[in-house]
């Protein structure tokens, strides 16, 4: 645990938001959620609205979901489709899927207004095994560097998306991470898991910014696998029959 004052109040909130969440790779969804050009995923990352869109070339690009005119949200949060352009829902400015301002609708000419300077602000988007990540820090190290320990020790194929569920957690996010990072509570809180693996041999190892947990399975264990936490708030749990990521 950290000092108790780091779990509440404005100052720790701002530090977590600005120094951690907005500078780290954040899992936003599965590539299969935006399969065609013009499909998008929008969400808040560290309180900042962002959108990831599949462009005409088939690549994913990301932007702040904030219009350059009066900061309207271009699209509603969630999964959706904007076709060939984002059209701001406030006054109708149109942006190409590469972020360029195509039309400042009905705005007319104005001294000093050059539409080329009013494209959407970009964010970083990188994918790994079909998992799509964003980073608001344009200078961040590549995603592949963060996930290298996982690539080395848990060679996952690119599974299709089977199901997505959301849970609102009534706690500081760091408390949830701390719980994930210890196996001490398993016998008390997860007795079925305790019966399925040899908890006495539960192991935790740190490699770079990834922490791995594992325990030897008993016969026919469905929980056999590896559980990886990735800085700062993502977990990827691999099991015999698939895997699950949560962030």
Binding site for ligand FES (CB under 6 A): 67, 69-70, 72, 88, 90-93
Of residues 80 and 130, the one with the C-beta less far from ligand FES: 80
Beta bridge partners of 101: 95
Of residues 6 and 85, the one with the C-beta less far from ligand FES: 85
Of residues 25 and 93, the one with the C-beta less far from ligand FES: 93
Of residues 54 and 68, the one with the C-beta less far from ligand FES: 68
- Report, in Å, the least distance between residue 10 CB and ligand FES: 28
- Report, in Å, the least distance between residue 103 CB and ligand FES: 10
Do residues 68 and 159 lie in contact, with contact meaning Cβ atoms separated by under 8 Å? no
- Report, in Å, the least distance between residue 88 CB and ligand FES: 3
Give the separation between CA 66 and CA 69, rounded to whole angstroms.
9
- Report, in Å, the least distance between residue 149 CB and ligand FES: 42
- Report, in Å, the least distance between residue 89 CB and ligand FES: 7
Laid out side by side, the sheet with 60-64 consists of 26-30, 131-135, 122-128, 60-64, 48-54, 39-45, 78-81
- Report, in Å, the least distance between residue 18 CB and ligand FES: 25
Of residues 104 and 235, the one with the C-beta less far from ligand FES: 104
Of residues 93 and 223, the one with the C-beta less far from ligand FES: 93
């Amino acid at each position: 645990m950290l000092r108790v004052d780091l779990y509440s109040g404005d100052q720790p909130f701002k530090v977590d938001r600005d120094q951690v969440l907005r500078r780290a790779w954040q899992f936003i969804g599965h590539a299969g959620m935006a399969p065609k050009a013009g499909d998008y995923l929008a969400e808040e990352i560290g309180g900042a609205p962002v959108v990831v869109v599949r462009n005409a070339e088939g690549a994913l690009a990301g932007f702040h979901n904030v219009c350059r005119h009066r900061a309207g949200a271009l699209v509603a949060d969630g999964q959706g489709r904007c076709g060939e352009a984002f059209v701001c829902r406030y006054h109708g400015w149109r942006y190409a899927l590469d972020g360029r301002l195509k039309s400042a609708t009905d705005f007319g000419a104005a001294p000093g207004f050059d539409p080329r300077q009013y494209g959407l602000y970009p964010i970083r988007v990188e994918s790994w095994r079909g998992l799509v990540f964003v980073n608001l820090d344009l200078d961040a190290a590549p995603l592949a560097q963060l996930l290298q320990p996982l690539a080395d020790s848990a060679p996952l194929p690119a599974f299709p998306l089977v199901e997505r569920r959301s849970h609102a957690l009534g706690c500081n996010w760091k408390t949830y991470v701390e719980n994930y990072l210890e196996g001490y509570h398993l016998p008390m809180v997860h007795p079925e898991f305790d019966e399925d693996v040899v908890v006495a041999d539960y192991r935790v190892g740190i490699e770079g910014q990834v922490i791995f947990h594992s325990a030897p399975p008993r016969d026919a264990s469905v929980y056999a696998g590896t559980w990886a936490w990735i800085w700062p708030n993502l977990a990827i749990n691999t099991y015999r029959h698939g895997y699950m990521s949560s962030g």
